Amino acid sequence: MKVLRREFLHLATAVAALPTLACPARAQSYPARPLRLIVGYPAGGSTDLVARIMGAWLAERLGQSVVIENKPGAGTNLAVQAAVASPPDGYTLLFVTTTNAINTSFHAALPFDFLRDLAPVAALVELPFVMEVNPSVPVKTVAEFIAHAKANPGKINAASFGTGTVSHMAWELFKLMAGIEMMHVPYHGGAPMVTDLIGGRVQAGIDALPNSLAHIRSGALRALALTGPARSAAVPDVPTVGETLTGYEVSGWTGIAVPAGAPAAVIATLNREINAGLADPRIAARLAAVGGRPIQVTADQFGALWRRDTDKWAKVMTFAAGKRE
């Protein structure tokens, strides 16, 4: 009996110690503290809304808060620089878009290398863009807009949500293909651009459709065309630019990156949870409400998308430079 009692007490002591021993292991698992998600756009725009939707989802799934840090400026480059300077431990996330692929070639010198210093985690959504004008502009179609621009060379203010952004490059490609000249007016994000467009301080703009949809429906802005490959169910009567300018197509993707060197297991965890969110009916409905089409891919497939668009926009800029010479 003494032996049995001694063995029982030894076993009971070991079992009682298990929770205590397991706690440090759980504390060391990812994530053990809040994450921050850096967004290179002002609060309130469509990209910011997508970031907040997915940030809330990640917080729910990972059991840690995700703090959104809006850091607009320099065509999203300030946000990238902040992320690159952070430890590669998976606790700093960066909201990336097509604009980041454009900036790789648009800016002659950057304090970072987008393809080298960041690691792709997961894509989020594809956002449609819309070419729109203040209702005072006497045009209703892309063809009429081109004719108006040719009759007023250099006099139309064409706004974008930042120098070097996909909005800016969409205008550059449009000018090249249409053979027109306009004055580019950059803003620090879509929200302030739309405010000035509605107020008539600029005549035309290219914006993410979700950001402008309510204003288009109210009549405060007039949609001329979508820049992507197809029409949108949100505005079925609005054609694409390509229906007038054959071959014109500009669409934008969004996603999440981390500083290069982050653990592969962390990237795998984030990719799995983000894709689970994109597949969740609640999240899909919220993203659809802001015009987003979910893109569920692996981290490697997202990286391939980065490289493809980096090459594409480098060629566009080389062609544009040649046209100006």
pLDDT interval class at 320 (50, 70, 90): low
- pLDDT value of position 259: 98
- Torsions phi, psi for 153 (to 5 deg): -60, 125
- pLDDT value of position 46: 79
- pLDDT value of position 290: 75
Evaluate if residue 107 carries a pLDDT over 70. yes
Q: Is 263:153 a contact under the CB 8 Å cutoff? A: no
Give the residue-averaged pLDDT of 9-16: 36
pLDDT interval class at 317 (50, 70, 90): confident
The CA distance from 287 to 210, in Å, is: 10
Helix (H) or strand (E) holding 195: helix 190-199
pLDDT interval class at 135 (50, 70, 90): very high
Percent of the chain with pLDDT over 90: 65
Q: Is 200:133 a contact under the CB 8 Å cutoff? A: no
CB atoms < 10 A from the CB of 172, how many? Answer: 21
Q: How many angstroms separate the Cα of 230 from the Cα of each of 61, 123, 145, 223, 227?
A: 34, 20, 20, 15, 8
Q: Mean pLDDT score of the chain, rounded to an integer?
A: 87
Instruction: Please provide the CATH number assigned to the domain covering 129-250.
Output: 3.40.190.10
Instruction: Please provide the CATH number assigned to the domain covering 34-127+251-320.
Output: 3.40.190.150
Q: Map tokens 């566009």 to a residue.
A: 316
Q: Map tokens 């430079």 to a residue.
A: 321
> Which residues fall within 8 angstroms of residue 69, CB to CB, at 6 or more apart?
36, 37, 38, 39, 82
Q: What six digits make up the tokens of 271? A: 């990719």
Evaluate if residue 16 carries a pLDDT over 60. no
> Which residues fall within 8 angstroms of residue 146, CB to CB, at 6 or more apart?
178, 180, 244
Return the bridge partners of 127, or none. Answer: 252
CATH 3.40.190.150 maps onto the chain at 34-127+251-320
> Which residues fall within 8 angstroms of residue 12, CB to CB, at 6 or more apart?
none
- pLDDT value of position 322: 62
Q: Map tokens 């653990």 to a residue.
A: 263
Evaluate if residue 1 carries a pLDDT over 90. no
> Among 92-96, 158-162, 186-190, 215-219, which is the least confidently predicted range?
186-190
* 78 burial level (CB within 10 Å; 0-12, 13-18, 19+): middle
CATH 3.40.190.10 maps onto the chain at 129-250
For the stretch 43-47, contacts whose Cβ atoms lie closer than 8 Å and that sit 24 or more positions apart, written own/partner, are 43/68, 43/70, 44/191, 45/161, 45/189, 45/190, 45/191, 45/208, 45/211, 46/127, 46/190, 46/208, 46/209, 46/210, 46/211, 46/290, 46/291, 46/292, 47/95, 47/97, 47/127, 47/190, 47/208, 47/254
pLDDT interval class at 6 (50, 70, 90): very low
Q: Is 122:274 a contact under the CB 8 Å cutoff? A: yes
The CA distance from 265 to 292, in Å, is: 28
